[in-house]
Structure 1
Amino acid sequence: MILILVILVGITVSVTIFFHIPYSRTKAEFLRLADNGLSAAAPSNDVFTSEDWKALPSPVRKYFETSGWTGTPKMSSMKAVFKGVDFILSPKKPAIQIDYTQYNFSERPARIALIETSMYGIPFQGLDSYVEGKGSMKGVLAKLFTLFNQQGGEMDQACLVTFLSESLLLPSAAIQSCIAWEPIDDTHARAVIACYGITAGGIFSFNDNGECLSFTTDDRTAIGMDGSKQRVRWSALMKDYKQIDGVRQPTRLQAVWHYDSGDLVYFDSRNFRVEYSYSMTIK
C-alpha cells in the first residue's frame, strides 16, 4: 500500500514538473514557422505614400489616409499579442481565457497563431497556420496529446480569408497584387484575395470617420472539434480605436459566427498590441 502511494506521489510530482517545463513541441513549431517567415522577409527602406492608396476604393483609401499611415515605413510583417481573450472552442461550451500570439507576413501571404491556456489545470495549446497556401488548426492537450488537427481545402480557404480580414492591420498586405479591391459605396468595399490557386473574399464596412468596423465573409467553414463542417457567415469586428505611435488603430477585436440560431462571439479580445517588423530579426 505504501509502495503504491509512493508511486502515485511520484507520478503526480513528475506530471506537475512536466506541465511547468516551458518547452513544448507546439510552441517550438510556432517559433520555427515565425523565424522562417521573418528570415524570408525582404527588408525595405520605403515609406507609404498617397500613391499606395490611390487605386483603392474610397472608404479604404480614407481609412489609410485618416489613420495616419502615410509617411510611415513599409513593414514586412506584424506580430499581435492578445492577453486574457474570452474564447469559446465550440457552441454550447463556456468561454475560457486564452493568450493568443500571431504573426502575419505580407509579401507571401502567411499567418501563424499560438493559443495558450489550460483546462482543469492541464495545459492546452493550439497552433493555427497558413503557410505556402496550406491551412491547419491543431489542438494539443498536456503538451503531448493531439485532440484535433484539421486540414484540407476548407481550412486552406478559411485561413486565407482570415488573413484577408486582418489586412488593414498590415497595410503592406492590403496593397499586395494578390488582393483585388472593388468599390461598393462610401462606407463599404469588397476585397478578393487569390493565392496558391484558392480565392476568398468578403466585405469591409467603415464609418464616416474612416474607421473600419467589420469584415464579413461567406467563405469560411465552421469545423467542429469532432470534424463536423458547416458553412456559416463569419465576421471580424474592429472596435475602440486609439492613437498608437501616431497611427489610429483598433484595440479590440471580436470574431463572430452568424449561426441561424444566433450570433456566437467566440473570440473577444481587449487591449491587444501590434508590433511591426522592418528587418529580419525575430522578437
Structure 2
Amino acid sequence: MRRKVRVGLMIAGVVFTAVVLAAGVAATLAGRRFHARYETEKAALLQQARSGAPPAGAGIAAESLPPPVRRYLQVTRAGDKPLPRFAIVQQRGGLRTAADKPWMPFEAEQVYSLEPPGFLWFARAKVAPGVHMLARDKFVGLRGNMLITLGGLITLADGTGPQMDQGAALRFWGEALAFPELVRSPSLHWEAMNETQARVRIEQGELKLEAVIDYNEQGLPIAMHAQRYRDVNGTGVLTAWTGYSREWRELDGRLFPTQWESVWHLPEGDFPAVRMEILHLQTG
C-alpha cells in the first residue's frame, strides 16, 4: 500500500513538474512573440520617420512665439537646428494602477517619429517574483492603442478609440516638446500667458487638444497641464493631468529631461501613476 502511495506521489510530482515547465515554455514563447510584434511596429515607425519629407525647421516664426517659448529656443540654441527625424530613449522606473497599489518596477524603450508625430513604448514590469507584465503603448497615424498582457499570455487591456487617441496624443506632445525644434510645428498654436507659462492648442486632423506649459527659471519646459481621459472602471473620465519633465541634463549632445512623471489630480489628492528615468537618448 505504501509503495502505491509513493508511486502515486512520484507520478503526481512528475505531472506537476511537466505542467510547470510547459507553462514556463509557453510564457517564454508568448513573451518573444509580443516583443517581435513590437520590433515589427518599431521598424515600420522608423521607416516612416526616415522616408518622409525632410523635417522643416521653419513653421511658426520664432518672433511670434510667446516669451517663454522663444527663450526656450534661445537657451537650447535650437532656433536654426533641423528637427530630428526620430528619437529612441531607454527608460526605467515604476508604475501603479491606483494610489493604494504597490509600485511595479519596469524597464522600457520608447521610439518617437517626430514628423509625422508618433511613438511606440515597450515596457516589461515586474508584477511578482517570476511574473511580468508586458505593455505596448502607441500613437501612430493619429490613433492610440494601449496593449497590456500578463507575460504575453493573457491580455489585460487592449484600449482603442477616440479617448485613447486623445490620451496618447497628449503623452506624445507632453514628452516630445523636450525637443525644442518641435515648438515651431504648424500643428501647434501658441498663446502668451506670462513669463513662465504659455498655452498651446494642438491640431492634428480630427484631434484638437489644449494644454498649458510651465517653464522654469532656466527657460526649460518642466510641466504640461491638460484635461486627459483616465480609465475609471472601464469608462473614460476627463481628469486634470500633468506630465512633468525634470532634471534636464546633456544627453546625445542636447539638453534633455532625465526624469519624467505622470500625475493625475484627483479630488482626494494627487496620484502619481508613472515615474521614469531616462537612461539613454539616441536621435537621428
- Paired residue for 2:5? none
2:241 equivalent to 1:234 = yes
Shift of 1:38: 1.1
Partner of 1:90: 98
Structure 2: how far apart are the matches of 1:90 and 1:50?
Answer: 41
Q: 1:251 to 1:154 in 2, by over 3 A?
A: same
CA shift at 1:271, angstroms? Answer: 4.3
Q: Is the counterpart of residue 114 in structure 1 residue 122 in structure 2?
A: yes
C-alpha RMSD of matched pairs (Å): 2.4
CA distance in 2, matches of 1:167, 1:262: 27
Counterpart contact for 1:76–1:107, Cα < 8 Å: yes
Given the superposition, is the C-alpha separation of residues 50 and 127 from structure 1 closer, same or farther in structure 2, using an over 3 Å criterion?
A: closer
1:162 equivalent among 161, 166, 171: 171
Query: Does structure 1 residue 32 correspond to structure 2 residue 40?
Result: yes
Q: Is the 8 A contact 2:68 2:196 kept in 1?
A: yes
- Deviation of 1:22 after TM superposition, in Å, equals 8.7
Partner residue, 1:151: 160
Q: Give the structure-1-normalised TM-score.
A: 0.87
1:67 pairs with one of 71, 76, 82: 76
8 Å Cα contact 1:44/1:74 also seen in 2: no
Q: If each structure's helix is expressed as a fraction of its own residues, which one has the higher value? A: 2
Q: Partners of 1:50 and 1:43 in 2: how far apart?
A: 17
Corresponding pairs, count: 274
1-side partners of 2:54 and 2:229: how far apart? 39
Amino acid at match of 2:189: A
Which segments of 5 or more consecutive residues in structure 2 lack a partner in the other structure?
Answer: 1-7
In structure 1, what residue type is equivalent to 2:77? G
Tell me, yes or no, if the aligned pair for 1:59 and 1:189 is still in contact at 8 Å. Answer: yes
1:146 deviates by 0.3
The C-alpha deviation readout for 1:95-138, integer Å capped at 9, x for no partner, is: 11011211121212212111212322222101111111211111
Q: Would you say 1:53 and 2:62 are equivalent positions? A: yes
Q: Does the 8 A contact of 1:77 with 1:170 survive in 2?
A: no
Give how far 1:93 is off.
1.0
Higher RCO (CA-CA < 8 Å; seq separation 6+): 1
Cα shift at 1:142: 2.2
Distance (Å, rounded) in 2 between the aligned partners of 1:100 and 1:3: 42
Report the AA paired with residue 41 of structure 2. Answer: L
| Superimposed CA distance per residue, residues 43-64 of structure 1 (whole angstroms, 9 cap, x where no aligned partner) | 7888958996343222112112
Tell me which of 229, 252, 262 is aligned to 1:255: 262
Q: Structure 1 residues 230, 92: CA separation in 2 closer, same or farther (over 3 Å shift)? A: farther
Alignment of 1:185 onto 2:194? yes
Asked if 1 retains the 8 angstrom alpha-carbon contact of 2:241 and 2:265, the reply is yes
Structure 2 residue aligned with 1:281: none
Distance 1:52 1:273 in 2: 31
Kindly tell me: are residues 3 and 124 of structure 1, through their superposed partners in 2, closer, same or farther at Cα, counting changes over 3 Å? Answer: same
- Give TM-score scaled by structure 2 length: 0.87
Task: Judge conservation of contact 2:55–2:115 (CA < 8 Å) in 1.
Answer: no
